[in-house]
Amino acid sequence: MTAAGLGLAAPALAQSDTRPSLTIAVQKISNSNTLETPREQSNVGFRVSSLYAESLIGTDWLGNLGQVPGLATAWRRIDERVVEFDLRAGVQMHDGRIMSAEDVAFSLGGARLFGGASAGREPPADALAVARRTFPGFERMEVVRQGVVRFVNRVPDVTLEGRIAQNVGVVLSRQGFETAENWQAWARRPIGTGPYRVAEFRPDVALTFEAHDSYWGGRPPARRIRFNEVPEVASRINALLSGETDFATDIPPDQLPIIERNARFEVVGSAVNNIRVLVFDKGHPVLRNPLVRRALTHAIDHRMIIESLWSGRTEITRGLQLGFFGDMYLADWENPRFDPAEARRLLREAGYRGEAIPYRCLNNYYVNQTPTAQVMVEMWRSVGLNVQLQMMENWSQVVEPGAMRGIRDWSVTHVFSDPVGSMLRAMGPLGELQRGQEWTNAEFNQLCTALESSTDRARRRVVFRRMLEIIEREDPGYMVLNQAATFIAKRRDIRWRPARGWPMDFSAANLGFGG
- pLDDT tens for each residue of 320-363: 999 999 999 999 999 999 999 999 999 999 999 999 999 999 99
Structural domains for the chain:
25-229 (3.40.190.10), 271-485 (3.10.105.10)
Q: Which DSSP letter does residue 124 get?
A: P
Distance (Å, rounded) from C-alpha 18 to C-alpha 2? Answer: 11
Widest CA span in the chain: 75
Side-chain half-sphere CA neighbours of 281 within 13 A:
24
Q: 495 near 511, Cβ under 8 Å?
A: yes
Q: 283 near 291, Cβ under 8 Å?
A: no
pLDDT, residue 515, reads 59
Distance (Å, rounded) from C-alpha 31 to C-alpha 362? Answer: 13
Q: Closest by alpha carbon to 54, among 176, 152, 223, 172?
A: 172
**Geometric angle at alpha carbon 302, from 427 and 436, rounded to 5°:** 20
- pLDDT tens for each residue of 98-139: 999 999 999 999 999 999 999 899 999 999 999 999 999 999
Distance (Å, rounded) from C-alpha 368 to C-alpha 456? Answer: 40
- pLDDT tens for each residue of 201-246: 999 999 999 999 999 999 999 999 999 999 999 999 999 999 999 9
Q: Phi-psi bin for 120: left (phi > 0), alpha (psi -120 to 50), beta?
A: left
Pairing state between β 21-26 and 247-248: parallel
pLDDT, residue 5, reads 38
Calculate what percentage of the chain has a pLDDT beyond 90. Answer: 94
Q: 224 near 3, Cβ under 8 Å?
A: yes
Burial (CB count <10 Å: 0-12, 13-18, 19+), residue 13: exposed
Phi and psi at 251, nearest 5°, equal: -95, 125
- CB neighbourhood size of 304 (10 A): 12
